[in-house]
Amino acid sequence: MDDLNDLRYFALIVDHGGFTAAERITHITKSKLSRRVALLEDRLGVRLLQRSTRHLALTEAGRAFYEHCAAIVVESDAARHAVEQLRSEPTGTVRVTCPVSMAQFYIARIIAEYMRQFPKVRIELDATDRVVNLLEERVDVALRARFGGIAEQGLISRRLASGRLILVASPDYLANKAPITDPDEITLHDTIGALRNGTEQTWELVAGDNRNTRVAVRPRLLCSDFSIQHQAALNGVGIALLPQRIAWSGLNDESLVRVAKEWNTPETDIHVVYASRRGMLPSVRMLVDHLAQRVPLALAEPQMSASGRSNSKIKNPSRGWVQSDIDIPRTSM
């Protein structure tokens, strides 16, 4: 196999009219350049250059060979320039994956902010609840929500925030029913669950005083993502176990009510996952840093008071503007 450097040397010798000029460009001695060309000619089995003490000329084979070598030099310079440009500023394509509910409720907005800041970057966002193999599928950045840490060979996981799931239902569903204060009472109600968890499910819940319980449910509605479960709860299908960040708007405008208020799931950590930062392009590095900054802020919205209660005002058609007193942690999914 030919050494591509030899092809480059040959093209430079021809371009600059001889070994002396090529020596000044490449900082390689004339004797070494001459030896490399001679070895190239031996491998090809043809003479490429006619040499004399005062003159250097291409043979017919040399002219044909030079045309291709010159094209290789141009392409290699362009390739190097493209990489240098990618390394100098955020540009090019970044492939991102995250769960559907994250994309719908806040990640799409955060990525749009990033793209406005770096207009030369193109994003491919795959919103899926499937666990994507970053290395095999050539994905640069993933957002994942898991209980505990994430350990995947060849990848780095950076915790961004945490949140929990809460129990909610619509006022219409709860009308004329006894208040639900104990998780065991949920078994008497219609529920909404995740399709991936099957027809028979166990909801693990904890209380603020570290009590824990497991509730066996058979959801009346099974669906694939939180946004659908959210809509089902709003429309009175039953009790749903939703990320607090998704349920907040419904709690705030009173289209949803929290039940068994003391209880929620254990905290789920949200991570950004990516390959080693070594050799990472600026476009990927800047996106990871942007997510690390913006995701915790997005999860903390709306702004909370020191007591952990929402400071936002809500509109109630019958009572005008009223102060919300919904308990919401500073970070939620």
Whether pTM exceeds 0.75: no
The helix/strand count (H/E) of the chain reads as 10, 17
Which one-letter amino acid corresponds to residue 121? V
Nearest to 89 by CA among 125, 117, 124: 117
With cut-offs at 50, 70 and 90, classify the pLDDT of residue 87: low
Task: Write the burial class of residue 94 (CB in 10 Å: 0-12 exposed, 13-18 middle, 19+ buried).
Answer: buried
Q: Is the pLDDT of residue 285 over 80?
A: yes
Rounded to an integer, the average pLDDT of 189-203 is: 93
List the single range of 59-63, 133-137, 275-279 with lowest mean pLDDT: 275-279
Which one-letter amino acid corresponds to residue 323? Q
Query: What confidence score (pLDDT) does residue 24 get?
Result: 84
Domains of the chain: 4-88 (1.10.10.10), 92-162+269-300 (3.40.190.10), 165-266+303-323 (3.40.190.290)
With cut-offs at 50, 70 and 90, classify the pLDDT of residue 328: very low
List the single range of 94-103, 157-166, 270-279 with lowest mean pLDDT: 270-279
List the single range of 62-76, 253-267, 285-299 with lowest mean pLDDT: 62-76
